[in-house]
Amino acid sequence: MISLSELLKSKDPVISIEIFPPKTERGDELLFEMLETLAQYQPRFISCTYGAGGSTRSRTIELCQRVQSRFQIPATAHFTCVGSSQDDLDHWLKSATEAGIRNIMALRGDAPQNQAEFKPAPGGLSYASELVAFIRQRHPNLGIGVAAYPEKHPESTSAAEDLKHLKTKIDAGADAAFTQLFFDNDLFFAFRDRYTAAGCGVPLIPGIMPITEFSRIKRITEMCGSTIPQKLAGKLEAVQDDAEAQMEIGV
């Protein structure tokens, strides 16, 4: 399968799809039924998330492997520092490459619910930039994506500080930056301009999440530091008991 740097060279618009490991057998069936439909739109790749605390690390690899085998579409596996020593990280990366995965989304990961702030595992890594450097050193042929925050990471003190951290991840060897979800295009365009001015020389990919359930999207935005414009939030609030109307507005 092709690496991210090659996948994103096209001058034509491209799309990718993000999925998460289902918790049930029926959920698994529904996911692949959906992917059968979405594959018709020829996504450039499909990325699979990594559960809280690394809870789905083996499922993430398995799901990526199945996606690549069934659809012949490159898969990108999300990967975090949470709960892993450097030996654990290297073991997981070897398992991923042996499964035919050539692209990794390198993330620090969220602190476990019982921790007020992120603390690395013994012998582990503290920052996504360290994970990028680790992957680039141990597995130099892997494609690496990193997260970007148009409205800054919730833990950053300022947008300038957050952009500095992003530049550190890119300088460590990332091939592309993928933004957190946003609902105001002007926020993204302003961030893109700052990103370019800072000398971040890899593709910046906007992350888009359709709103299919207002209560769910509110929880997600509260966790990741994104905002919903007041006008859009008002429309969704007014129809929060009408699933079809929410879908009409949010999609």
How many other C-beta atoms are found inside a 10 Å radius of the C-beta of residue 48?
A: 25
Confidence of residue 91 (pLDDT cuts 50, 70, 90): very high
Average pLDDT value for residue range 199-214: 93
Q: Which residue has the tokens 């690394």?
A: 54
- If one compares 183 and 120, the residue with the highest pLDDT of the two is 183
Q: Find the Cα–Cα–Cα–Cα dihedral 217, 170, 18, 32, rounded to 10°.
A: -160
Average pLDDT value for residue range 207-227: 89
Indicate which residue of 6, 18, 155, 222 is catalytic.
18
In the predicted structure, residue 16 carries a pLDDT above the cut 70: yes
Q: Which range among 18-32, 47-61, 200-214, 234-248 shows the weakest confidence by mean pLDDT?
A: 47-61
Percent of the chain with pLDDT over 90: 71
Residues 6+ apart with CB under 8 A from 105: 47, 76, 77, 78, 79, 144, 145, 146, 147, 178
Helix/strand/coil (H, E, C) string of the chain?
A: CCCHHHHCCCCCCCCEEEECCCCCHHHHHHHHHHHHHHHHHCCCEEEECCCHHHCCHHHHHHHHHHHHHHHCCCEEEEEECCCCCHHHHHHHHHHHHHCCCCEEEEECCCCCCCCCCCCCCCCCCCCHHHHHHHHHHHCCCCEEEEEECCCCCCCCCCHHHHHHHHHHHHHCCCCEEEEEECCCHHHHHHHHHHHHHCCCCCCEEEECCCCCCHHHHHHHHHHHCCCCCHHHHHHHHHCCCCHHHHHHHHC
Confidence of residue 93 (pLDDT cuts 50, 70, 90): very high
pLDDT tens digits, one per residue of 143-187: 999 999 999 998 899 999 999 999 999 999 999 999 999 999 999
Average pLDDT value for residue range 112-131: 84
In the predicted structure, residue 126 carries a pLDDT above the cut 70: yes
- pLDDT value of position 55: 55
- pLDDT value of position 52: 58
Residue 213 annotated as catalytic: no
In the predicted structure, residue 53 carries a pLDDT above the cut 60: no
Average pLDDT for the chain: 91
- pLDDT value of position 113: 67
In the predicted structure, residue 54 carries a pLDDT above the cut 70: no
Ordered domains of the chain (ranges, CATH): 4-208 (3.20.20.220), 210-251 (no CATH)
pLDDT tens digits, one per residue of 176-198: 999 999 999 999 999 999 999 99
- If one compares 107 and 10, the residue with the highest pLDDT of the two is 107
CA distances (Å), 137 to each of 76, 131, 140, in order? 19, 10, 6
